[in-house]
A and B are shown apart, each in its own frame.
Chain A
């Protein structure tokens, strides 16, 4: 059983479309992070959320942490080919635990 379930596993869309990817768990996380990984590279941090209900925006990306701190979503507006990559969510169960990663959502944005 995965501690962090990400959905969908794969998403292929056209440039300009909007999309939402999800990260769900039955456990409560003290913090949750979203990373993007491009082919041949390591993951790069996009955002960290720590407060239940928190919403953070990064240009066309909107991140939300669930009120109960068990789930998170990433919404991309007007997707561009440069958004293509593997989106990973990772959470810390407590201040003294290491990161637990989900399997990721592979996003492909076609021109």
Chain B
């Protein structure tokens, strides 16, 4: 596997289900991101992990719970979602300098298309 992979590619879930999205990066990067892409809206940054520590959480509802067990893996745990949470969820990674900052190129996975019924 190369680049950034995401599983599953498609997910349909009911509002009472619990599911998890998985992201794995094979690039040796030190930062990972979750984005939400909805129709007619710009990509919304949800969470950022740098060196396995969460450094940003953009007022995302608690029904989304990220987990970063190591620098190569990122999960997004989902529970009691709403239909408006249906979207394409994109994972990305980048190599950021030790001095801090997030201005490097981000490499995106193919996304998970989530539908909440």
Q: Chain A residues in contact with chain B, CB under 8 A? A: 2, 4, 30-31, 33, 35, 40-45, 48, 88, 90, 92, 95-104
Contacts and interface: CB of A to CB of B under 8 A. Distances in A.
Given A96-B100, A96-B101, A98-B48, A41 B111 contact: yes
A88 B44 CA distance: 13
A95 B108 CA distance: 20
In this complex, the interface size class of chain B, counting residues with CB under 8 Å from chain A, is: 20 to 34
Contact of A92 (B43, B103, B110): B103
Given A31-B103, A33-B105, A48-B105, A42 B42 contact: no
Contacts of B105: 33, 45, 48
Contact of A97 (B90, B92, B102): B102
Interface of B: 4, 33, 40-43, 45, 48, 56, 90, 92, 100-103, 105-111
A contacts with B: majority SS: loop
A40 B45 contact: no
Nearest to A99: B106
Given A42-B92, A95-B103, A96-B100, A88 B110 contact: no
Nearest to A38: B110
Nearest to A4: B42
Contact of A42 (B41, B45, B100, B109): B109
Contacts of B111: 40-42
A100 B102 CA distance: 11
Max chain B C-beta neighbours (<10 A), residue from A35, A96, A99: A99
B102 A42 contact: no
A59 B43 CA distance: 27
B110 A2 contact: no
A88 B43 contact: yes
Nearest to B97: A95
**Which 5 pairs between the two chains have the least Cβ-Cβ distance?**
A42-B108, A101-B43, A101-B42, A95-B101, A98-B102
